[in-house]
Amino acid sequence: MAKTTTNTTKQKKDAPKAKVPKKKVVAGTLHVEATFNNTKVVLSDKEGNTIFWTSAGALGFKGAKKGTPFAAGKAGSVIGEKAKALGIKEVDVVVKGVGSGREPTIRSFMAYDIEISSIRDMTPVPHNGPKPKKPRRV
């Protein structure tokens, strides 16, 4: 006696889609953190909620190439494409860090016809903190 099987195919769930903010976003803040080793770019709305982010390392650059101006420019253009698709018209830019990716990120973001209303440099600068350790004697 043959066993009959019923064809119960499970439906595969679709891949998770990118979260799109529910309300219309026309203005935001672009945060650029440029270190010597990498460049991170975050696009947020005016309240500070993250919409998109990327970094040179997330784009596939490895090692010392992550800290180059070319990699930073690519990160800025990726965020610019996403912002243009979302319909963002103007951004404030907040730059932090001393890396070589500060300017190329902003320049490549500007290529997508998004108005930059202000650029602020929020690089942390020490105001003579704790006393350093004494030099090591060998």
Determine contact, residues 41/30, Cβ cutoff 8 Å: yes
CA distances from 133 to 8, 93, 118, 128 (A): 70, 37, 40, 14
* 38-88 tens-digit pLDDT: 999 999 999 999 999 999 999 999 999 999 999 999 999 999 999 999 999
The 10 Å Cβ neighbour count of residue 77 is: 20
The model's pTM: 0.77
Predicted pLDDT at 21: 53
* Domains, the chain, with CATH or none: 27-121 (3.30.420.80)
Does position 15 have pLDDT exceeding 90, yes or no? Answer: no
- Residue 14's pLDDT is 58
Give pLDDT tens digits for 96-132: 999 999 999 999 999 999 999 999 999 999 898 999 8
What does the DSSP 8-state code read for residue 63? Answer: G
Q: In this structure, are residues 133 and 103 in contact, taking their beta carbons and an 8 Å threshold?
A: no
Q: Hey, what are 44's tokens?
A: 């947020």
> For residue 29, which of 104, 125, 106, 123 has the smallest C-alpha distance?
106
Q: Both ends of the chain: CA-CA distance in Å?
A: 88
What is the distance between the alpha carbons of residues 121 and 101, in angstroms, rounded to a whole number?
Answer: 13
In the beta sheet, which residues pair with residue 48? none
